[in-house]
Amino acid sequence: MNITLQQAEAAIAAAKAKATEIKTLMNIAVVDAGANLVAFVHMDDAWLGSIDISQKKARTARYFNMPTGEIGKLSQPGGSLYNIEHSNGGLITFPGGVPIRDRQNRIIGAIGVSGDSVENDHAVAQAGADAIK
């Protein structure tokens, strides 16, 4: 199963609404089950450097089917995934990437958000992912 464009747009709309609510500017990327970009938004005046980060967060969450913050915990020195961020053309292992699941709990894609603190990035990404269930 793959996320549809309609679902990806709904995830982005929910993420944008959350970003607006918490008064921040974000880059928001949604990838399908194959980690291919389906939809992307660069809010006016959001950091340019966060464009790439948001897309990598989405892909990282899909590659490993878990939030990027969880991968970050495992990739610390001495951790079982130490240095994993150097694989797959570069991963992002801090919060802001979340798998997207359908109503049957199947992973159909992922959302990645970047533009503020990792706590806010994660909150905005989670809002986008939750809009699909």
Residue 64 has pLDDT above 90, yes or no: yes
Say if CB 94 and CB 72 are below 8 A apart: yes
Average pLDDT rounded to a whole number, residues 116-131: 97
pLDDT of residue 88: 85
Question: What percentage of the chain carries pLDDT values higher than 70?
Answer: 100
pLDDT of residue 90: 85
Average pLDDT rounded to a whole number, residues 93-117: 96
Closest CA to 122 of 57, 76, 75: 57
> What distances in angstroms separate CA 29 from CA 15, 32, 55, 75, 105, one per listed residue?
10, 10, 5, 23, 21
pLDDT of residue 81: 85
Q: Give how far the C-alpha of residue 90 lies from the chain's centroid of Cα atoms, to the nearest Å.
A: 15
Please name the residues in contact with 78: beta carbons below 8 A apart, sequence gap of 6 or more: none
Partners of 101 in beta bridges:
107
d(CA 44, CA 65): 30
d(CA 51, CA 125): 14
Average pLDDT rounded to a whole number, residues 71-82: 89
d(CA 70, CA 89): 19
Average pLDDT rounded to a whole number, residues 48-63: 97
Residue 74 has pLDDT above 90, yes or no: no
Average pLDDT rounded to a whole number, residues 22-35: 98
